[in-house]
Amino acid sequence: MILVTGATGTVGSEVVKALSGRGQPFRAGYRTRPQNVPSGVDAVQLDFDKPETLGPALRGVETVFLLSNTVAPEANVVREAKGAGVKRIVKLSVRHAAQEEFTFAKWHRALERAIEGSGLAWTFLRPNSFMQNVVNYMGQTVKAQGAIYTAAPDAPVAHIDARDIGAAAARALSEGGHEGKAYELDGPEPLTYHQIAATLTRVVGREVRCVPISDEDSRKGAIGAGMPEDYADALVDLERFYRTGKAGGGAPDLRQLLGREGTQFEKFAHDYAAALR
């Protein structure tokens, strides 16, 4: 039995879809939005900060797909998983976690080390920025103002489609041979936000501009949207890392896992156009 944590989120929901297509027995753990779990899927309420929800979710589970927004509470799951007889953890980490050059990388690498020291078998998936972030975090201004606001407008980033991450995770979860491996997952092409805006202009049928902003304005915008201050600071630090040019991709791991190239941003934009018009 596989437990998929964060099963109603951007990546977790794609893992659920990919596992469903494989006929693999799994359980979907959700913190909120149970209505987003597909009909017929074994589902359980799961909150990393509430220990009483961990035992029922982990019952009979051999492999855990582990992800969260804030990372630190994942340590609770690692501890409980070992006591519950779980054999392996497949953790959603972040690209360049091993180098720890930005805040998210430091947070994730700390959890990776905890998993490595737990005695459990492990696999780490380290994806680059999600293409879906354009919809989830920039979609409102794209629709209302025809604009993308970013402090890293010229930085080339190999954005990856979360659907490809879900497919890669399903393989790592349901097949052998992935233990002790860390996969760096890039999209197929490095794109700046200016290039993304140009693609959206073609696809949605009206002008979308990339508007450069300062780090401070980026931070204020994130906090104004309801993000905790430490998470907003981490996002600013991520944009600083992007400006170094080190997120431009080139890792072959996604292609090796899927046997194909990742999804091009143009296709992603067409598939999600309705959410951006």
**243 assigned to some structural domain:** no
**Residues belonging to the chain:** 277
On whether the CB atoms of residues 243 and 214 are closer than 8 A, the answer is no
In a domain, 195, yes or no: no
Is pLDDT at 15 greater than 80 in this prediction? yes
What is the rounded average pLDDT of the residues 213-221? 93
Residue 237 covered by a domain: no
| Amino acid 36: pLDDT | 78
Within a domain: residue 22? yes
Domain span at 105: 2-129+160-186+250-262
Question: How big is the CA angle at 165 (ends 163 and 168), to the nearest 5 degrees?
Answer: 110
pTM flag (> 0.75): yes
CATH of the domain at 24: 3.40.50.720
Predicted local confidence at residue 176, as pLDDT: 84
Over 80: is that where the pLDDT of 34 sits?
A: no
HSE-CB of 76 using CA atoms within 13 angstroms: 18
Q: How many domains does the chain have?
A: 1
Which pLDDT band, with edges at 50, 70 and 90, does 225 fall under? confident
Q: Is there a domain that residue 224 lies in? A: no
The answer on pLDDT for 133 being more than 90 is yes
Tell me the two tokens of residue 138.
Answer: 């920039």
**Residue 166 falls within a domain, yes or no?**
yes
- Tell me how many helices (H) and strands (E) the chain has: 12, 9
Percent of the chain whose pLDDT exceeds 70: 100
Tell whether 219 is covered by a domain: no
Classify residue 23: in a domain, yes or no: yes
Overall average pLDDT of the 90-98 stretch = 96
Task: With beta carbons less than 8 A apart as the criterion, state whether 166 and 251 touch.
Answer: no
Tokens of 220: 């204020």
Distances from the Cα of 55 to the Cαs of 36, 80, 111, 186, in angstroms?
22, 7, 20, 35
* Beta strands across the sheet bearing 121-127: 42-45, 26-30, 2-4, 63-66, 88-92, 121-127, 181-185
Q: Which of 68-72, 103-107, 196-200 has the lowest mean pLDDT?
A: 68-72
